[in-house]
Structure 1
Amino acid sequence: MTHDHDLVLRPTPAQTEAALNPPPGRTGGDLVVESLAALGATTVFGLPGQHALGVFDALRRSDLRYIGLRVENNAGFAADAYGRITGEAAPLLLSTGPGALTSLAALQEARAASAPVLAIGSQVPTAGLGGGRHGYLHELPDQAASFRGVVKSVHTARTQSQIPSAIAEAWTSALTVPHGPVWVEIPQDVLLAETAIPVVTGGDTFPEELPPRPELTAVAADLLTRAERPAIIAGGGVVRADAAKKLRQLAERLQAPVVTTFGGKGAFPWTHPLSLQSWLEDRHTTDFLEDADVLLVIGSGLGELSSNYHTFTPRGRVIQIEADLGKLESNHPALGIHADARLALQALLETVEEPRTDPTAPERVREVLDKVRARVAAQELTLEQDVLAAVRKALPSRAPSFWDMTILAYWAWSAFDPGAPNTMHSAQGAGGLGYAFPAALGAAAADPTHPVLAVSGDGGALYSIAELATARQYGLNVTWLIVDDGGYGILRAYMTDAFGTPTATATDLPGPDFVALAESFGVPGVRTSPETLARDLAKALATPGPSVVVLPAVLRMFAPTHAD
């Protein structure tokens, strides 16, 4: 009996001839770029370095598009966004030691947000592996150890014959749910040596699917069918799985109100009658979710931000669908279903057949949102709401936006209508600074048909200011809104709340003239005001190429409510 997996594809005569007579002058670096191209990669990000030059030399002989950033961490953020936008693994080429280590914060964000990034780093020559014997520049005793706690998987190629398989294995890992970053490292001498290995042409990989267990789906469907007050929390897993339409179908069939987490922005239509939007830092929302007799949590681990800082204590039955096994029931007991959000939602749609009737659900949603709006309105935060509204007005409906860890982004987590799935992204997964602008560059490289917005504070902007050169070099359609409040505004607010006064030398930042600085890079800049923001931002977004809009403003956070 022959099984499909027993079949072996025989090479054609032409393939055999090409394999026996590979073109001269190829190196291990060529095997890297050939492997990437064979797997379907078209764009790579990164920075060259001494030990990685074999790969960068091979790029000249390939059709891969290379986008080089000025800082490795920013290259990682760009690859992260490329992976989020396309759903493909984004190659990230790095050098040994300091270059590799500088990418760690970006890879941490990619891991937290389930963004598929294929990081390929060089190593010292093979003779130096094992630590300190030869004193090579950039040498680490165990470079891979620095990545094991950050990425999904670590892969090594110590010979040229190992390169295609190591990269294919890493690619499969990055795209197996939950998606995430992976690390491959290859010694310098392996990359530089000439190779007689045939040109890499076979690149098919098959990321494993993660369907739900049918017996668990049956129990979940029964609980949801019999529920009187069902509710849904939709997290980033819904967005990553491209499952927003299935979520909407299930919510409407159950008449279940839906709140999206900050990582799940866009998973459910903002103005839908069942949409509780994203007011997770509000006790009215928390109370509503706690009152649900059956709460379906899809693609969220119910972590700190999604649980109103761990004050959320559900009283009903919780069903949690989560692709990351480590997050399943990690914070609350539940009927845990280890599955991809898309496949699990499809299974529930096939099992929950009878529509549920509850004409009160939209009314209950309106009551919660009215209470939230009234509470925020009482705090006299008109400036902040006007600024956010101006951004929404200026941004085309399908244009993606990327938000740094800044006060306006904290507002956007709760109050911004993303307009569509997979269009609003922030660094809230790991919470590092400097994400927005380089990530926006990666998104613009992925899809040049839409303008891209980046939003930063002046503190976060200084982390990635060098990438204005990248934006200019490649003509990427990114508009960068910098809200300049003269420091780390959110940390200033946190310290004031906690200690009564901030440490000014730590939170106040004498900064540059961002407009003049942008123009020095050849990037047009404009200084705006809250009154002219919508107009100036819309004009910048409509103009091809990079641009900078600077808004001098001190914004305040709304007061969250974690308990009664």
Structure 2
Amino acid sequence: MTHDHDLELTPTPEQIEAALNPPAGRNGGDLVVETLHGLGAATVFGLPGQHALGMFDALRRSSLRYVGLRVENNAGFAADAYGRVTGEVAPLLLSTGPGSLMSLAALQEAAAASAPVLAIGSQIPVAGLGGGRHGYLHELRDQQASFRDVVKSVHTVRTQSQIPSAIAAAWESALSAPHGPVWVEIPQDVLLAETTLPVVTAVDATPHDLVPRPELTAVAADLLAKAERPAIIAGGGVVRADATGKLRALAERINAPVVSTFGGKGAFPWEHPLSLQSWMEDQHTTDFLEDADVLLVVGSGLGELSSNYHTFKPRGRVIQIEADAGKLESNHPALGIHADARLALQALAETVAERPDDGVPARVAAVLKAVRERIDAQELTLEQEVLASVREALPAASPSFWDMTILAYWAWSAWPGAMHSAQGAGGLGYGFPAAIGAAAADPATPVLAVSGDGGAMYSIAELATAKQYDLNVTWLIVDDGGYGILREYMTDAFGEATATELARPDFVALAESFGVPGVRTTPETLKDDLAEALAAPGPRVVVLPALLRMFAPTHLG
């Protein structure tokens, strides 16, 4: 039997020449960067360390663009965002021990959000591996073990000839549905040793398709066509699979209302007559979805946030399309279809019979009206005005990255369209370094980061990064003097808050000390100040002193 790949096995004359006459002065690190280049990488993120210097030295001899951040966790967040906005693998170069471990929180977020981050870390020399304690700087007894519970796959290297294959296997793993972070580790001496191996010129790491089983999509299509009250929950898997068009075609064909989860924002047009938007933390939305006789869940595991904190109890038949097999039926019994969202939605859209129902837009409008009346009854005008000002100031083509802060919690429900946040794992400090990663992916488009003052302190050092690379990132810091959402949680639960109040710097003066222009704004001037900052080249900081409150998530008002 022959395969198409057989045609590519004979090296070209150019490849033969390069193989027989490799340039002098190459080391194991060159094999790393040559493999990344051969796989299509253009930009790498990271932070150097003693054991990883072979990789970083090799960058000097490559065409790869390097973006160095000041903390490994922030470098991981930047790579995460690069992967989210491009759909491409984002290489992250790290050192042994403390450097690697500092990235774990970012890799947890990448795993929860299915961002394709390829973390390549160094290791102590080969002689020190395999147990025992050899006294090497940065040494861990089992460095891989620290990553196995976080990343999608782990790949180890012990010789230079293993480098291209290990990185290619990791690359394929990162890009196969469901996307996710992967870990490769290479000993220091393997990276530093001179190599006689030829230049890496051709690497194949094509991700495999996750195709739905046809008997399952046939049953799902039949259920949806015959449903009286179908509904759709669109999760982040729809966005990652570039399946928004397929989702819209299916929803319109069967006249099914669509709710986008917080991670799935942008999966469905916000103002579409079938759009129930993203009010997941709302009893009216929960009741509507519970009343569906057939509920199609695409690219979501219906976890805590997507199930209104596990209060959602569907009464109808559930169909779940999910690329992560572990999430199938993990929270609710369903007809589970293990597949990439795009391929499964395409199969459904092509086979399902049309389901006319002229009354759906009115029912959707009634739910949204009830939600709006409930929110309005809580007298949270300031919060809604601040969010509207941010939306109006942000250019339509500009992405936004949100830290775990009260304004972001509002945005999950009320922001019209796509946004990126750390709600997958929920760690602080995501917004600004993630915006740096997006700005590196598209230097011509301004990017917005939103943080509270508590989260901002996690990544304040990256002002130096934004300035060094002259990135078009505007950072909105909402300063309420503490961990605002935790203050609310503790006050509600215990009557008063503990450990939530924070001393903080003058953020404007601090930004300016980095050479980054800053401005202190008010709710009334926010829109203009933010728009001006976003229109200006290079990094900018806008500080809004404001005490915002959350809406009641599930009460009927």
TM-score, normalised to structure 2, is: 0.99
Measured after TM superposition, the shift of residue 206 of structure 1 is: 1.2
User: What residue identity is the alignment partner of 1:415?
Assistant: A
Question: Are 1:501 and 2:500 an aligned pair?
Answer: no
Matched, 1:433 2:432: no
- 1:294-345: per-residue Cα shift (whole Å, max 9, x none)? 0000000000000000010001000000000010110000000000000000
1:5 Cα deviation from its structure 2 partner: 5.1
Query: 1:2 deviation in Å?
Result: 3.1
Cα distance, 1:450 vs. partner?
1.6
Could you tell me which runs of 5 or more consecutive residues in structure 2 were left unpaired when the two chains were aligned.
none
**Correspondence for 1:534:** 527
Q: Which residue does 2:159 correspond to in 1?
A: 159
The 3-state SS of whatever aligns with 1:24 is coil
How much does 1:17 deviate? 2.8
Q: 1:124·1:187 contact (CA, 8 Å) conserved in 2?
A: yes
- Range moving further from structure 2, 132-141 or 294-303: 132-141
- Contact 1:229–1:293 under 8 Å retained in 2: yes
CA contact (8 A) 2:226 2:355 kept: no
* CA displacement 1:355-375 (0-9 Å, x = unmatched): 221111000011111111111
> 2:406 is aligned with what amino acid?
I
Contact 2:319 2:335 in 1 (8 A): yes
Aligned partners of 1:460 and 1:176: how far apart in 2? Answer: 32
Offset at 1:6? 5.1
The alpha carbon displacement at 1:397 in A equals 1.1
> Which structure 2 residues correspond to residues 152-551 of structure 1 after superposition, within 5 A?
152-352=152-352, 354-418=353-417, 423-503=418-498, 506-551=499-544
Query: How far apart are the structure 1 equivalents of 2:16 and 2:439?
Result: 40
How far residue 133 of structure 1 moved from its aligned partner, in angstroms, is 3.4
Contact 2:122 2:188 in 1 (8 A): yes
Matched position secondary structure for 1:272:
coil
One-letter identity of the residue aligned with 2:416 = D
1:500-522 CA distances to partner (integer Å, 9 max, x unpaired)? 1101xx10001000000000000
Q: Is residue 511–residue 518 contact of structure 2 (8 Å, CA) maintained in 1?
A: yes
* Contact 2:374–2:556, Cα closer than 8 Å, also in 1: no
Q: Report the Cα offset of residue 8 of structure 1.
A: 5.7
* Alignment partners' CA distance in 1, 2:46 and 2:155: 18
- From the superposition, tell whether residues 380 and 83 of structure 1 become closer, same or farther in structure 2 (CA, over 3 Å): same
Question: 2 CA distance for matches of 1:109 and 1:557?
Answer: 23
1:553 and 2:552 matched: no
CA distance in 1, matches of 2:336, 2:7: 37
- CA deviations on 1:137-179 (whole Å, 9 max, x unpaired) are 0000000100000000000110000000000000000000000
* Equivalent pair of 1:515/1:549 in contact (CA under 8 Å): yes
Distance 1:119 1:59 in 2: 16
Aligned residue identity for 2:531: A
Deviation at 1:276, TM superposition (A): 0.5
Contact 1:230 1:295 in 2 (8 A): yes
Amino acid paired to 2:29: G
2:307 alignment partner, SS class: coil
Once the two structures are superposed, the pairs formed by residues 134-149 of structure 1 within 5 Å of their partners are: 134-149=134-149
Partner of 2:92: 92
Contact 2:133–2:141, Cα closer than 8 Å, also in 1? no
Cα distance in 2 between the residues matched to 1:64 and 1:484: 38
Partner of 1:120: 120
What's the % identity of the aligned pairs?
82
CA distance in 2, matches of 1:113, 1:368: 29
Alpha carbons 1:478, 1:541 under 8 Å: kept: yes
Q: Deviations over 1:199-254 (max 9, x none)?
A: 00012221010011000000000000000100000000000001111111111111
Partner amino acid for 1:542? A
Secondary structure at the counterpart of residue 76 of structure 1: helix
Report the CA distance between 1:3 and its aligned residue: 3.8
1:562 offset after TM fit, Å? 6.5
How much does 1:130 deviate?
2.5
Q: SS state of the match for residue 231, structure 2?
A: strand
User: Contact conserved, 1:132 with 1:139, CA < 8 A, in 2?
Assistant: no
Q: Distance in 2 between matches of 1:197 and 1:532?
A: 61
1:537 partner letter: L
In structure 2, what is the Cα distance between the partners aligned to 1:133 and 1:281?
Answer: 50
Q: 1:14 deviation in Å?
A: 3.4
Amino acid at match of 2:470: G
Q: TM-score, normalised by structure 1?
A: 0.98
For 1:455, what is the secondary structure of its paired residue? Answer: strand
**Contact 1:405/1:427 (<8 A) preserved:** yes
The aligned residue for residue 9 of structure 1 is: 9
2-side partners of 1:563 and 1:538: how far apart?
36
CA RMSD in angstroms comes to: 1.1
Q: Deviations over 1:41-99 (max 9, x none)?
A: 00000000000000000000000000000000000000000000110100000000000
Q: CA deviation at 1:18?
A: 2.0
CA–CA distance in structure 2, aligned partners of residues 252 and 452 of structure 1: 32
CA distance in 1, matches of 2:212, 2:556: 35
* CA displacement at 1:132 relative to structure 2: 4.2
Would the aligned equivalents of 1:132 and 1:140 in 2 still touch at CA under 8 Å? no
Separation in 1, partners of 2:303, 2:556: 17
Give the secondary structure class of the aligned counterpart of 2:465: helix
Amino acid of the residue matched to residue 10 of structure 2? R
| Number of residues of Structure 1 aligned to a counterpart in Structure 2 | 557
**Deviation of 1:117 (Å):** 0.2
Amino acid at match of 2:415: F
Aligned to 1:41: 41
SS of 1:110's partner is helix
Cα distance 1:187–1:562, how it changes in 2: closer, same or farther (>3 A)?
A: farther
CA contact (8 A) 1:282 1:372 kept: yes
CA distance in 2, matches of 1:87, 1:103: 21
- Is the CA contact (8 Å cut-off) linking 1:482 and 1:550 kept in structure 2? yes
2-structure distance, mates of 1:202, 1:536: 49
Equivalent-residue separation in structure 1 for 2:366 and 2:101 (angstroms): 49
